[in-house]
Amino acid sequence: MLRQWLHAGLVVILVIALAGCQAGGGIGPSTAIGGLGGAAAGGLIGAAAGGGGTAIAAGTILGGLLGTGVGHYLDLQSQRVQAETVHRSLETAPSGTATAWANPDKGTQGTVTPRRTYRISDGSYCREFEQTVTIGGQPQHSYGTACRQQDGSWRMVN
C-alpha cells in the first residue's frame, strides 16, 4: 500500500514540477491547480472504487493528465468511468482498437486507443496510447506511454 501511495506522490510532484517550469504562455496557476486537483481526485476515486493499487495509480495518473487540460471540466463520475476505461484498455484491448466511454448525464465521452505494446529490459510491458475526451462537443487529444507494474497498476512514463 505504501508503494502505491509513493507512486501517487511522485505523480503529484511531477505535476508541480511541470507547473514550475512555466514560461510566458506555458502552464499557469490555473492549469497547475487543475492538474493537482485532477491527480488527487483521480487517486481518491480509484481508492473509493475499490480497485486497489491499480485503480489508485490509474486514477492519479489520469486525473493529473486530464486535470492539466480538460479534467477540471469532468465531474467525478466521468473521471471514474474514464479512468476505469483507460485501465481496461491498457490491460486488454488490442493495439489500434479504440475503447469508448461516456457519461450521458453530463454529455462527456471519450476513447482510449492503445497504439503499440512492447517489453522493456526488466520484462515489463509498456503501451503507447492515444486518448480523446470530448466535452461540450470539443475533442481534446493526448498521447502517452504507460508501463505495467508487478502489482498490476500502470505507471505513466511520459
Convert the pLDDT of each residue in 7-56 to its tens digit.
444 343 333 333 333 333 333 333 444 454 455 545 555 555 555 666 66
Q: What share of the chain is helix, strand, coil (3-state, %, to 5)?
A: 50, 25, 25
More confident of the two residues 131 and 69: 131
Q: What is the pLDDT of residue 102?
A: 94
Q: Which of 64-68, 96-100, 119-123, 150-154 has the lowest mean pLDDT?
A: 64-68
Tell me how crowded residue 126 is: count the other CB atoms within 10 A of its CB. 17
Q: What is the pLDDT of residue 105?
A: 86
Q: Return the residue matching grid coordinates 471519450.
A: 110
More confident of the two residues 98 and 13: 98
Q: What is the pLDDT of residue 61?
A: 65
Give the rounded percent of residues in the chain with a pLDDT score beyond 90: 37
Instruction: Enter the DSSP assignment of 147.
Output: E
Report domain extents, the chain.
Answer: 2-156
The arithmetic mean of pLDDT across residues 99-117, rounded, is 93
Q: How confident is the model at residue 94 (pLDDT cuts 50, 70, 90)?
A: very high
